[in-house]
């Protein structure tokens, strides 16, 4: 913010237009400097132009642009010195561009690491397979919706994002939960799923096998409330969360059908308006009885 203030020409009396462009339905983009429109001495300045020019010169001299090959070379030197790389090391090492600069030039830090031949300790297989599991969730929602449409008492439809299902007004959200590495031989298996702060309806969690390559089973539970963006599950948590473990897709369809029917509520039909004017009933008082 300070950098933006120091470059703002309003303080020397100028007003600059056309610095950005935003077309209909698109993201805002910065225009090149030669297309900017300046109104000189439009407002009263509060900063001396000479002082402003000195500040621009200092900022321009501090900015150093290096090639992408030089960026990788400096990062390789830092890797040899530190023995590992992460966002904190990159941002706090003198002479290195920031993490945002690396991601702007190369896309992701993982791509930067691959160009260096560096294998990070963090397991990123889940990131590589997100699109695959997103398609799996969509296919499950579609199959359940098609199976429920056979029952004329149920109305089911898949929402636009593909992983949500509406059955007679009941929202059903499908999530994929990867199995976390065990902390010891005596620890129970745990799964974690990103739930996007879901608080309505049912949640169907596809728990994956230890290799996170296939679906192990299904868990149906009420939408969590106030648990944060992640849902953690273990076999010991099922009773506490009012969850049900299901092994096959057919059994899952039957479970969702039963819950949709039990939660279905039809509002009573409103009586048609009557044309007859109802006689207003006045409450009797002592004066009324006295007049009679």
Domain identity same for 29 and 106:
no
Q: Tell me, what's the pLDDT at 275?
A: 55
**Residue 77 belongs to domain spanning:** 68-122
**Domain-embedded: residue 289:** no
Q: Which helix (H) or strand (E) holds 29?
A: strand 29-30
Q: What is the DSSP string of 151-193?
A: STT--EEE-TTSSEEEETTEEEEEEEEEEPPPSSTTSPP-EEE
Domain identity same for 49 and 157:
no
Q: What is the pLDDT of residues 163-199, one digit of tens each?
A: 888 888 888 999 999 998 887 777 888 998 887 767 6
Domain identity same for 116 and 195:
no
Domain boundary among 62, 79, 101: 62
> What is the pTM assigned to this prediction?
0.58
Domain identity same for 234 and 147:
yes
Domain identity same for 9 and 38:
yes
Domain identity same for 177 and 257:
yes
Mean pLDDT in residue range 207-230:
86
| Ranges assigned E (strand) in 107-254 | 156-158, 164-167, 170-179, 191-194, 202-208, 215-222, 230-233, 244-246
Domain identity same for 255 and 155:
yes
Q: Tell me, what's the pLDDT at 229?
A: 78
**Domain-embedded: residue 290:** no
Does 283 score more than 80 pLDDT?
no
Q: Tell me, what's the pLDDT at 215?
A: 94
Q: How confident is the model at residue 282 (pLDDT cuts 50, 70, 90)?
A: low
Does 265 score more than 50 pLDDT?
no
Domain identity same for 58 and 84:
no
**Domain-embedded: residue 218:** yes
- Across 38-47, 110-119, 133-142, 179-188, least confident range: 179-188
Mean pLDDT in residue range 234-246:
89
**Domain-embedded: residue 248:** yes
Say how many domains are in the chain: 3
Q: How confident is the model at residue 269 (pLDDT cuts 50, 70, 90)?
A: very low
**Domain-embedded: residue 276:** no
Does 248 score more than 50 pLDDT?
yes
Q: What is the pLDDT of residues 92-118, one digit of tens each?
A: 998 899 999 999 999 888 889 999 999
Domain identity same for 80 and 201:
no
**Domain-embedded: residue 30:** yes
% pLDDT > 90, the chain: 46
């Amino acid at each position: 913010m300070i950098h933006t203030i120091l470059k703002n020409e309003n303080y020397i009396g100028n007003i600059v237009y056309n610095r950005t462009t935003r077309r209909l339905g698109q993201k805002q983009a910065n225009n090149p400097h030669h297309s900017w429109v300046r109104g000189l001495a439009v407002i009263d300045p509060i900063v001396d132009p000479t002082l402003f020019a000195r500040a621009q010169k200092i900022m321009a001299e501090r900015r150093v642009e290096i090639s992408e090959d030089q960026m990788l070379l400096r990062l390789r030197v830092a890797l040899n010195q530190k023995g590992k790389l992460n966002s904190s090391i990159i941002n706090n090492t003198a002479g290195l561009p920031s993490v945002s600069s690396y991601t702007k030039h190369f896309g992701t830090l993982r791509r930067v690491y691959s160009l260096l031949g560096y294998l990070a300790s963090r397991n990123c297989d889940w990131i590589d397979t997100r699109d695959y599991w997103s398609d799996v969730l969509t296919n499950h929602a579609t199959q359940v919706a098609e199976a429920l449409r056979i029952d004329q008492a149920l109305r089911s439809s898949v929402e636009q994002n593909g992983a949500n299902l509406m059955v007679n007004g009941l929202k059903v959200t499908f999530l994929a939960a990867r199995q976390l590495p065990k902390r010891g031989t005596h620890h129970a298996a745990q799964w974690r799923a990103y739930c996007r702060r879901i608080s309505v309806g049912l949640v169907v969690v596809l728990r994956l096998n230890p290799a996170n390559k296939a679906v192990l089973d299904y868990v149906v539970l009420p939408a969590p409330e106030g648990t944060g963006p992640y849902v953690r599950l273990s076999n010991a948590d099922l009773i506490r969360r009012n969850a049900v473990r299901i092994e096959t897709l057919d059994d899952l369809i039957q479970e969702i059908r039963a819950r949709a029917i039990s939660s279905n509520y039809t509002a009573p039909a409103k009586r048609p308006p009557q044309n007859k004017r109802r006689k207003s009933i006045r409450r009797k008082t002592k004066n009324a009885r006295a007049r009679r």
